[in-house]
Amino acid sequence: MIKWIILIALFTLSPSLSAEQGLQALTVTTNADGTQDYSVSLQVLAIMTALSFIPAAVIMMTSFTRIIVVLAILRQAIGLQSTPSNQVLVGMSVFMSIFIMAPIYQQIHEAAIDPYLKEELTSIQALEKAKDPLKTFMLRQTRISDLETFAQIAGLEKLDKPEDAPFIVVIPAFITSELQTAFIIGFMFFIPFLIVDLVVASVLMAMGMMMLSPMIVSLPFKIMLFVLVDGWSLVMGTLAKSFGLGG
């Protein structure tokens, strides 16, 4: 299925080439009595089916998962239930993912897409070439323990090196590692806001103000703290560096 997804991208980038290779959406058959029957090409049917998997691939095989989880934990730590909104968080995650994945796309373009458009590679060869940079990126972010766990579940023998793992094993291992890393980063961001909550709650208890919610009092202090330390720049920089960008 991963090969079909990459193949869709290749055909999308070169519609004229697809037409020249005779990828027809409709086949017309003329019967003996002069009537015509129409049947949808199996190639188009397979491609249209694979389109439904593209959002999952974009979410799970790139940096998107780690970023959106960290931002969601950060919003919860500050105490803002709906600000920034989900649309804003998703938008930030999408454009951060584009920024982080740009070097990987450039490698795929140079190794697979450009030679394919120049007819130097067949579609199957281009798919194999395009898979390598993405697999390398995913393996860099994947813990060996997670990779070994899914390799054992798949019934594979002990791998000599991570690169020997098939793509179908790398994907779930990568997703698991991304979630683990996102929770670790989220925990580190959560601690300062938790300390503010504890201090405010202790002061209110000492003053005998039992009926006043500590969350209401601590919220402006947490926002002020986040702004004073240039929080958004710190968060985005940390996320980018966690993928190896910026040294």
Q: Binning pLDDT at 50, 70 and 90, where does residue 112 land?
A: confident
In a domain, 145, yes or no: yes
pLDDT at 10 over 50: no
Digit-coded pLDDT (tens) for 93-105: 889 988 988 888 8
208 within some domain: yes
Tens of pLDDT along 56-84? 777 888 888 899 999 999 888 888 877 88
Domain count for the chain, please give it: 1
pLDDT tens readout for residues 147-178: 888 888 877 777 778 777 888 888 889 999 99
Q: Has residue 40 been placed in a domain?
A: no
Q: Is 43 contained in some domain?
A: no
The answer as to whether 175 is a domain residue is yes
Give me the pLDDT at residue 133, please. 85
Nearest to 73 by CA among 217, 171, 214, 181: 181
Residues 6+ apart with CB under 8 A from 6: 112, 126, 127, 130, 131
Q: Are 189 and 242 in contact (CB under 8 A)?
A: no
DSSP 8-state code for residue 207: T
State which residues form the domain around 76: 62-243
Is 19 inside any structural domain?
no
Listed in sequence order, the residues at least 6 apart from 92 whose beta carbon sits closer than 8 Å to its beta carbon are: 67, 71, 84
Q: Which of 238, 239, 226, 247 is nearest to 84 (CA)?
A: 226
**Would you say residue 118 lies in a domain?**
yes
What is the pLDDT, as a whole number, of residue 232?
87
Within a domain: 38: no
Q: Is the peptide bond before 172 cis (omega within 30 degrees of 0)?
A: no
Looking at the DSSP bridge assignments, the partners of residue 27 are 39
| Residue that wins the pLDDT comparison between 48 and 17 | 48
